[in-house]
Amino acid sequence: MLSELQWLKFAHRFTTLDINGSGCLELSDYAAIAANMCHACSVPIDSGVGLSLRNAYIRAFKALSSGREDIQAVQITLDEFIRFMEMRLAGRPEVFDRGMKRIAGLVADICDVNRDGFLDEKDFICFLGSYSIPEGEYAVALRNLGMRSNGPLSREDFISHSRDFYCGDNPLSPGNWLFGDFKKVRTKVVTPARLKSWE
């Protein structure tokens, strides 16, 4: 069973992935994220690294679709997404390291526009801007990740924060803030009871 913190993080992550705001996750959302990220970081989507990113996001969506046939028609609901995260990633850093670590490294490499091995604020905003995250949440992410006090994130910091976001359950982990303000769950399907303990 997920903790309230884990549930909030996954519900928040769902809304950041729902690029077209349909209330479900579709293949087109995942393709749009790869395209947005390449565009923000001036990487051609048809370059080797651009195609790797696009393929990584498409594979991630296929995993979420659990072998359903017509992937173009698949719509993942919030409950399905949260159930998948609960079964596959929550509390399982070894699963993250087997699959998603590679994607996180690829994202860090693409967003590291000047290729110095670190994500500065400008790089990190290219990352945040690739998802459906209101600009008003950028500052809270930068602050809680320590970028305003400690400076740029290394590639390893970024991967470690990603692992903490998906697998961790520590309210003090900076990685909780990797995709913006996870306490502001924006989905319409959150029940008041779910949010009560965070008011």
Rule CB under 5 A: which residues touch Ca ion?
A: 18, 20, 22, 26, 29
Least separation, in Å, of the C-beta of 94 and Ca ion? 30
Least separation, in Å, of the C-beta of 28 and Ca ion? 7
* Contact indicator for 77, 97 with CB cutoff of 8 Å: no
Q: Which is nearer to Ca ion, 70 or 94 (CB)?
A: 70
Least separation, in Å, of the C-beta of 75 and Ca ion? 8
Q: Which is nearer to Ca ion, 113 or 190 (CB)?
A: 190
For the chain, how many residues are written?
A: 199
Least separation, in Å, of the C-beta of 80 and Ca ion? 13
Q: Which is nearer to Ca ion, 29 or 157 (CB)?
A: 29
* d(C-alpha 47, C-alpha 38), whole Å: 10
Spatial neighbors of 183 by CB under 8 A, at least 6 apart, are 8, 12, 198
Helix (H, G, I), strand (E, B) or coil at 76: strand
* d(C-alpha 35, C-alpha 17), whole Å: 13
Q: Which is nearer to Ca ion, 20 or 187 (CB)?
A: 20
Tokens of 155: 């590639």
Least separation, in Å, of the C-beta of 78 and Ca ion? 11
Q: Are strands 153-154 and 118-119 parallel, antiparallel or unpaired?
A: antiparallel
Strands (E), 66-172: 118-119, 153-154
Query: By beta-carbon distance, which residue lies closest to Ca ion?
Result: 22
Q: Which is nearer to Ca ion, 83 or 92 (CB)?
A: 83
